[in-house]
Structure 1
Amino acid sequence: MRRKIPLIVTAAAVAVALAACATPSGASPDSSSSATGGRQAVTVGVIPIVDVAPIYLGVQEGIFARHGLDVTLELADGGAAIVPAVVKGDYQFGFSNVTSLLMASNQGEPLKIVAPGNFSTGQDGVDFSAVVAPGDSDIATAADLAGRTVSVNSLNNIGDTTVRNVVDASGGDPAAVEFVEMPFPEMLPALKGGQVDAAWVVEPHLTTAVQQGAKIISSNFAQTDHDLLVAAYFTSDQTLEQDPETVAAFTAAVKESLTYAQDHPDETRAVLDTYTEIDPVVKSVMVMPRFAADIEPTYLQVLADLGLKYGLFDKPVDVTKLLVQEPAQ
């Protein structure tokens, strides 16, 4: 499954981080199937984050093999590398956050979501994403973030749009929040040093922040929508048209893996050790995303509407363009 990388980010935001692609296998499915026991070889671009634990677990448990697939998981630093690799056919499938996929589709990229990636837990105060502030800060609610500086790892994406949303819902002025872009590992030192007033962090950084004395101001994902779909697996229109059977097999295997991961939380945490490096104490107590197999247009619409409201899109986004259409009966 390639190299192990220290976990420093989560799909909630890294999908637009500028990064070089991991080296693609370059092998076509037909040329490699004979070397994989008759199974179809596919390459999936993923990010070294907690959100993709189910696909690693599915490979480990033989779920993909039972669906006739031999999966290579290629680690990339962000979705900005994965999207073009999927479009070009270097990867048959990829993983990215939903806002980034909506933006790519809106810009004309020929993509289709085939399965969910991960969801918010839906529990305020017990989610894998939150805005934190120093323990002695006078920031008490999301409304208090107006007029303050808040770090996000990527501007104009799922982080700042959901933070604006909770500020708005709490009675604050979302336009008055000043967002500062920085990598997640730099946020806690910046928070301690007073360079920012608050930080949007995700696991495992959220648990570390709380252990170091920070307080949770808002669970921005859970407070935006209890069923917020954060990320998804996707393919290209070309792959779907040329090899629908492989897409169907991959979709079924991912969904089975998501269900297995949700039903086996200890195994899901354990598989993180195969591709990330997280402090064992943090890993044992941090909040994992919710994993589920179902996907509906309404899940995408939440973030599409927020993107329109806060200026990511200049017109409504047709979310159905991103979904695989069922054949007419």
Structure 2
Amino acid sequence: MRRLFTGLAAGFLLLGTAACGSSDGSGASDAGAASGGTTTLKVGVIPILDVAPVYLGQKQGFYAKRGLKLQLIPAQGGAAIVPGVVSGQFQFGFSNTTSLLVAQSKKLPVKAVANGVASTAEDGADFAGITVKKGSPLTSPKQLAGKKVAVNTLNNICDTSIRESVRKDGGDASKVEFVEMPFDQMPAALAGGQVDAACTPEPALATVKAAGGKSIASNFFDVSPDLTVAMYFTSQQYAQKNPELVKRFQEATIESLKYADSHPDEVREILTTYTKIPDTLLGRLTLPRWPAEPDRASIERLARLAQQDGLFKQSPDLDKLLP
């Protein structure tokens, strides 16, 4: 917990400097949009399959028709994006649900505005999994006790869900050793033996499988079949000062989620524009679901697990966090 708090505090100092002290989006405001021009919004994202809808929505003009242009800025994970949004470096961000729950429990002023991505609701056929390399002796989650497991950032949805997979399989979740690294580095780390297993959403999941590796558990499914894995959010200050902009971003994002859900071929194609996935792997990707609304029951379960694992003592206020 101390490491998490220290990391967030350091992130605030660094990102606050980068934002030159701004907390209202550096000019991206309703006042600027009132002139009839296009408002550019900086959005912190992670270069994974999950965020394909906003790239598609930008391409299809869903944001432009509402007077918005997105500047999509990649980051390693939601835990890094949260301080960027709160400090004003980003107007909006994409974060796994656990990181938002932790932030809300710390009274950080975050507000979800749109759903992000959800589990496929199919065990063994989800868009993310706990993967091991070809020939690994590991065949089930309980064997991860005492092993090194890669996650993109510590104290996020990956380690929370992996612990639940281990518990459900009868293992000791407290003995899993988590190692932090970007998703796109995980396949090589697995192959080279730096870690024993990894939390891999697409396209890292397809990359590991193409090298002969396999998934030993659907960790998101193990939390809840309909798990809301991530959401788009802003700061409470920005939402209060710019309600019309937030509404337009929300509407465009919901339209983008629906479009992505019904155009899988275009999802695969857009992925090549912001990740390093080879064209040969596109057909092997397992696509997630992109519902228009978050699943509150799954978020409540995720919050209970995070509290059980010591990520926070005081339960987050979901009424204040959720759209």
Normalised-by-shorter TM-score class: 0.7 to 0.9
Please tell me whether residue 71 in structure 1 is matched to residue 84 in structure 2: no
Pairing of 1:166-185 with structure 2 (within 5 A) = 166-185=165-184
Give TM-score scaled by structure 1 length.
0.83
How far apart are residue 168 of structure 1 and its match? Answer: 0.5
Residues 1:89 and 1:140: Cα distance change in structure 2 (over 3 Å):
closer
- The answer on whether the counterparts of 1:46 and 1:73 sit within 8 Å (CA) in structure 2 is no
Pairing of 1:153-168 with structure 2 (within 5 A) = 153-168=152-167
User: Structure 1 stretch 191-200 or stretch 53-62: which is displaced more?
Assistant: 191-200
- The answer on whether the counterparts of 1:118 and 1:230 sit within 8 Å (CA) in structure 2 is yes
1: CA distance, partners of 2:209 / 2:72: 32
2: CA distance, partners of 1:275 / 1:205: 13
Q: How big is each residue's C-alpha offset from its partner over 1:267-299, in whole Å with a ceiling of 9 and x where there is no partner?
A: 122222333332111223212221110124323
Please tell me whether residue 222 in structure 1 is matched to residue 221 in structure 2: yes
Pairing of 1:137-216 with structure 2 (within 5 A) = 137-216=136-215
| Structure 1 equivalent of residue 33 of structure 2 | 33
Pairing of 1:1-329 with structure 2 (within 5 A) = 26-29=26-29, 32-33=32-33, 37-66=36-65, 68-78=66-76, 79-324=78-323
The percent of aligned pairs where both chains have the same amino acid is 45
| Structure 2 equivalent of residue 5 of structure 1 | none
Residues 1:274 and 1:83: Cα distance change in structure 2 (over 3 Å):
same
Q: In structure 2, the residue corresponding to 1:274 is in which secondary structure?
A: coil
- The answer on whether the counterparts of 2:119 and 2:225 sit within 8 Å (CA) in structure 1 is yes
- The answer on whether the counterparts of 1:76 and 1:82 sit within 8 Å (CA) in structure 2 is no
1: CA distance, partners of 2:251 / 2:112: 13
2: CA distance, partners of 1:288 / 1:249: 26
How far apart are residue 30 of structure 1 and its match? Answer: 5.4
- The answer on whether the counterparts of 2:79 and 2:153 sit within 8 Å (CA) in structure 1 is no
Q: Which amino acid aligns with 2:135?
A: D
Q: In structure 2, the residue corresponding to 1:222 is in which secondary structure?
A: helix
Residues 1:18 and 1:205: Cα distance change in structure 2 (over 3 Å):
farther
Residues 1:143 and 1:294: Cα distance change in structure 2 (over 3 Å):
same
User: Structure 1 stretch 137-146 or stretch 232-241: which is displaced more?
Assistant: 137-146
Residues 1:166 and 1:32: Cα distance change in structure 2 (over 3 Å):
same
Q: In structure 2, the residue corresponding to 1:277 is in which secondary structure?
A: coil
What's the Cα RMSD here?
2.8
Aligned length: 308
Q: Which runs of 5+ in 2 are unaligned?
A: 1-7, 20-24
Q: In structure 2, the residue corresponding to 1:95 is in which secondary structure?
A: strand
4+ residue segments displaced more than 6 Å: 17-21
